[in-house]
Structure 1
Amino acid sequence: MNRRHFIQQAGLGLGALSLANVPVAGIPVMGYAVSPERLLEPGIDVAAKKRLSDVALNAAKSKGATYADVRIGRYLQQYLFTRENRVQSVTNAESFGVGVRVIANGTWGFAATSDVTPDGIAKAAQTAVAIAKANARLQKEPVQLAPQAGVGDVSWKTPIKRNAFEVPVQEKVDLLLKVNGEAMKNGAAFMQSNLFFINEQKYFASTDGSYIDQDIHRIWPTFTATATDRQAGKFQTRDAISSPMGMGYEYLDGSASEKIPGPNGLVGYRNGYDMVEDAIMAAKQAKEKLTARTVQAGKYDLVLDPNHLGLTIHESVGHPTELDRVLGYEANYAGTSFATLDKWKTKSFNYGSKLVNIVADKTQPYTLGTVGYDDEGVPAKQWDLIKDGVLVNYQAIRDQAAIIGEKASHGCCYADNWSSVQFQRMPNVSLKAGTEKRSVNDMIKDVEKGIYIIGRGSYSIDQQRYNFQFGGQLFYEIKNGQLAGMLNDVAYQSNTQEFWNSCAQLCDQDDYRTFGSFFDGKGQPSQVSAVSHGSATTRFNGVNVINTGRKI
């Protein structure tokens, strides 16, 4: 029997692959190293997954579970890393197994196994029930799940045009080396570039009557260009102005690319990305940063590009509206939340100005957080977090919904691997674009004293997601309505409520783009998830800017 035929049978008798969370160049790689060809082999067919899922569900119910769900997951990754004219590494990884979650005696229990056979899965389900019953002795109140009707046998797939894993490694390496070479020709002294691809093949089944098969794809191209002044002993960098996306390789081949024009020839990208063009610009801009003026600290109107503003949204809105942080159940990775229930209950807490409308969305095309169903079998949806500046909702899953009076989960439950228990994770959280026709040039011409900021930089935020400081990649002075040259050493400081209440102007939908976080950490043991944040270019008035290069 060949491997292809064997995999298509009821299970992988060899026990498949267990999780090995091995960082490669700072990137968490989950699974065991495999060949690129292995990534293209089919997994277990849907009928076999359903049979195995029923084994888990029946075993859990027979031991006293009142609810159970099972996730059969095959997680594939490919990571390519180059420097200058050399390939540093090509890593292919696969992880395969089953996670079973149950409620018994009103309490959660969870167990996972890489033994993907009927016996192995049944044992995992029985272990999950035993854990739940043991935990029940400490449980003060029973778990209350929001109702969720079973959806039967359904499937969902990221609507890709070109599977990145089918693209030959040589083609990908050639692209990265071209990116590096063009950057070096245009002023970069050092250059590193990376491609990262993820495919999550997930099957979910529950005692509610859902059998959901999903095939999820994500892509992330990135680089760092470094320019040096050896005589002065200085260097400057500029990272890629790319966004990781829920797309296939078409993100890089130009078939889906849309350029967004900016002031003075600056370019943004939407639904596609020209990595070579961006690398050339990056090299020139990194070189220009070597002679840029240092900023004078003070109050400025800030014009923030979507590739920059996405991180500010992530930290100051995305995390503070996670209900587990609000309730104090979660404090890992920078704390709880200032946006407490008492503020939400007033229905009048001004999180921002009336221009600020922020939505959570698991359905937005091409984004990292978009799926058909979450890891509790809840259909993806969109809902308001901040409406006309007022805090109106949070992010909640099935066992949290009742706490805030919701009749259904928001569908934002996720686990990063079959061996991880699913919990509340951030959906795409985005600022709606303005309704009035306005370009970036239109916005800049109204600014007398300001700074135009592009790209993600260093940042810090306090333990309640309130006081913060953000840097960036590129900073341009705005003087009397025009760009007046590049600046260095810029960071802005504010608190979340003050900052969002200073929101004064938004560009329209024609400028709308997404920023993404490919590895957003949360929890203990820690898990990562991928999430996008959309916005148009936005202006914030009178924000405090500091000089990060000043010596004390």
Structure 2
Amino acid sequence: MRRRDFLYMTGIGLGASMVQGIPLFGKDISVEAALTPVDIALKKKMADVALNAAKSKGASYADIRIGRYLNQVVATREKQVENIANRESYGMGVRVIANGSWGFAATDNLDNDSIARAAEMAVAIAKGNSKLLTEPVQLAPQQGFGEVSWKTPIEINAFEVPIKDKIDLLLKVNSEAMLAGAKYVNSNIFMVNEQKYFASTEGSYIDQDVHRIWPTFTVTKIDPAGGKFETRNAFSAPMGLGYEYLIPKESEKIKGGPVTMYKKRYDMLEDVKEAAVHITEKLKAKPLQPGKYDLVLDPSHLFLTIHESVGHPTELDRVLGYEANYAGTSFLTLDKWESKKFNFGSKLVNVVADKTEPGSLGAVGYDDEGVKCGTWDIIKDGILVNYQTIRDQAHILGLEASQACCYADSWDSIPFQRMPNVSLAPDEGSLTAAELVKDVEKGIYMFGRNSYSIDQQRYNFQFSAQLAYEIKEGKIVGLLKDAAYQSNTQEFWNSCTQLCGKSDYRLGGTFADGKGQPSQVSAVSHGSPTTRFDGVNVINTGRKI
């Protein structure tokens, strides 16, 4: 088993349940080698060796995951290239049920004898675990799919784009920031390719090719008179796309206020130019006066609130108390779901789980149990109606099938329940952000994720933003500093009074949502339109007002 090294981004606020970084693990590899695929016939042969060995030792069920994980990072600071890395991790994990209990083993020696030994070890572990079993594993029924495949619908494989082109872009981004008066700037592009092969004793042989990309930067300016400094991070979202994400289109831009936002194409140069302007404004911004405000939350900010206050508390293992690492358990206990009337939010609040949304980080064809992915409601008209489940949890809710929420971050990690894309549905109308702001008398318009805190039941919380603009009588009048809002999950979502339409809907997300012990990370997106919340308590987090 290999320990993972984590690369953390400089200047970005980190949270325990949303570690802002990307795991780089495995060995160095050339770009040419990374672009050479593993023969699918060889994967099937290796899978059959493992499945046959597991069955011969008494497994009633077995599945295998052959994973080839490729990571590339290009990192710069001011006029220098700080790091270029290409990494590969390649191996197989074998999971079995024997005597009613789970067992798991993994190997990166992929000859037939090593594969068979891993499968035999998994069965031995399962049989050992069964001696402490109180009730046998119950798997939701799942029909095998035969030989199928799925691939992220990318236009340009980011790994095929020359390193020089990526460096040129990042150094241009840095140059623009410094020309605008930035003291410090770093910029990075992270690229991920998960080549995953799943096979099971139920007859599935599933080959998937998953691509993700995340361009980002942090810009810092210093006020020479007072020595104060301010920063702004990129308003890019990590996406399940190829390098086409970094080839902007005017039609992908949303300019409805003081910030240009992006849908599925991102203009890194335009964003860094705006960032420099915003930082100058932040250095001059007046402190917030605490009180009750109507909040207008941009998707670049709201995605994190959705993640923490909706995504994590509807993970069924947290609800049941099976999982508490990184994010605690959940206030959304089963009795609230069983009542079929628990008021989570206002009637405007509709939250959908989706493992298929194009461009999202969580989009795959099949999960790591070989279950075909789909969509389902979690909150419907403000009422809690469902959770997130995998095959051995489905019976607890009386479901006939898993919701395909199983994932492992590496071939040597055991798969368990992970968050799908969890998104706030837009309004059916055509309301724009600019129109929404016109109706706000006393409010704050927030952009970008920043610091946050939430309790271990995912209930009481505090969030701040990269940018917080004051709204007076329907007009944006300037930036405020040190603004953060406090609420509890139920009160906050019941204060939701307006949502923009589909044209304003955008994705935010993270490459590395942490969970479990030993810890694993997963990539997940959260979509929403610009949304209004009335009468929320806003505090000043600075020392002086």
> What is the match of residue 42 of structure 1?
37
Letter aligned with residue 4 of structure 2: N
- Which of 469, 479, 484 is the aligned partner of 1:486? 479
Structure 1 residue 231 displacement after superposition: 1.8
- Which of 301, 307, 311 is the aligned partner of 2:304? 311
Letter aligned with residue 140 of structure 1: T
> What is the match of residue 218 of structure 2?
224
- Which of 124, 127, 134 is the aligned partner of 1:133? 127
> What is the match of residue 3 of structure 1?
none
Structure 1 residue 282 displacement after superposition: 0.5
Q: Which secondary structure does the structure 2 equivalent of 1:473 belong to?
A: strand
Q: Does 1:29 align with 2:29?
A: no
> What is the match of residue 234 of structure 1?
228
Q: Does 1:400 align with 2:393?
A: yes
Letter aligned with residue 506 of structure 1: L
Deviations 1:310-337 (A, max 9, x none): 0000000000000000000000002000
Alignment of 1:448-527 (within 5 A): 448-527=441-520
Cα separation, partners in 2 of 1:471 and 1:90, compared to 1, 3 Å: same
In terms of mean alpha carbon deviation, does 139-148 or 431-440 score higher?
A: 431-440
Quote the Cα distance in structure 2 between the aligned partners of 1:189 and 1:504: 41
Q: Which secondary structure does the structure 1 equivalent of 2:127 belong to?
A: helix
Alignment of 1:173-322 (within 5 A): 173-254=167-248, 258-264=252-258, 266-322=259-315
Q: Is the 8 A contact 2:288 2:540 kept in 1?
A: yes
Q: Is the 8 A contact 1:385 1:392 kept in 2?
A: yes
Deviations 1:206-243 (A, max 9, x none): 01110000000000011111111022010000100010
> What is the match of residue 142 of structure 1?
136
Deviations 1:285-340 (A, max 9, x none): 01110000110000000000001000000000000000000000000002000000
Quote the Cα distance in structure 1 between the aligned partners of 2:522 and 2:275: 28
Structure 1 residue 361 displacement after superposition: 0.2
Calculate the TM-score normalised by the size of structure 1.
Answer: 0.95
Deviations 1:491-534 (A, max 9, x none): 00000000000000000001000001110000000000000000
State the identity %: 67
Quote the Cα distance in structure 1 between the aligned partners of 2:390 and 2:157: 31
Letter aligned with residue 38 of structure 1: A
Alignment of 1:59-78 (within 5 A): 59-78=53-72
Q: Which secondary structure does the structure 2 equivalent of 1:119 belong to?
A: helix
Deviations 1:355-376 (A, max 9, x none): 0000000010110000000000
Aligned length: 533
Q: Which secondary structure does the structure 2 equivalent of 1:71 belong to?
A: strand
Structure number with greater CO (CA < 8 Å, separation at least 6) is: 2
Q: Which secondary structure does the structure 2 equivalent of 1:403 belong to?
A: helix
Q: Is the 8 A contact 2:312 2:327 kept in 1?
A: no
Quote the Cα distance in structure 2 between the aligned partners of 1:524 and 1:518: 18
Q: Is the 8 A contact 1:20 1:32 kept in 2?
A: no
Q: Which secondary structure does the structure 1 equivalent of 2:465 belong to?
A: coil
Deviations 1:103-153 (A, max 9, x none): 000000000000111111110000000000000011100000000000000
Cα separation, partners in 2 of 1:468 and 1:70, compared to 1, 3 Å: same
Q: Does 1:110 align with 2:104?
A: yes
> What is the match of residue 157 of structure 1?
151
- Unaligned 5+ segments in structure 2 are 10-20
> What is the match of residue 91 of structure 2?
97
Q: Is the 8 A contact 1:313 1:429 kept in 2?
A: yes
Deviations 1:31-88 (A, max 9, x none): 1122233221222x11111111011011001101000000001000001111111111
Q: Which secondary structure does the structure 2 equivalent of 1:504 belong to?
A: strand
> What is the match of residue 329 of structure 2?
336
- Unaligned 5+ segments in structure 1 are 1-17
Q: Which secondary structure does the structure 2 equivalent of 1:533 belong to?
A: strand
Letter aligned with residue 278 of structure 2: Q
Quote the Cα distance in structure 2 between the aligned partners of 1:79 and 1:423: 27
Calculate the TM-score normalised by the size of structure 2.
Answer: 0.96
Letter aligned with residue 339 of structure 1: L
Alignment of 1:531-550 (within 5 A): 531-550=524-543
Quote the Cα distance in structure 1 between the aligned partners of 2:3 and 2:170: 27
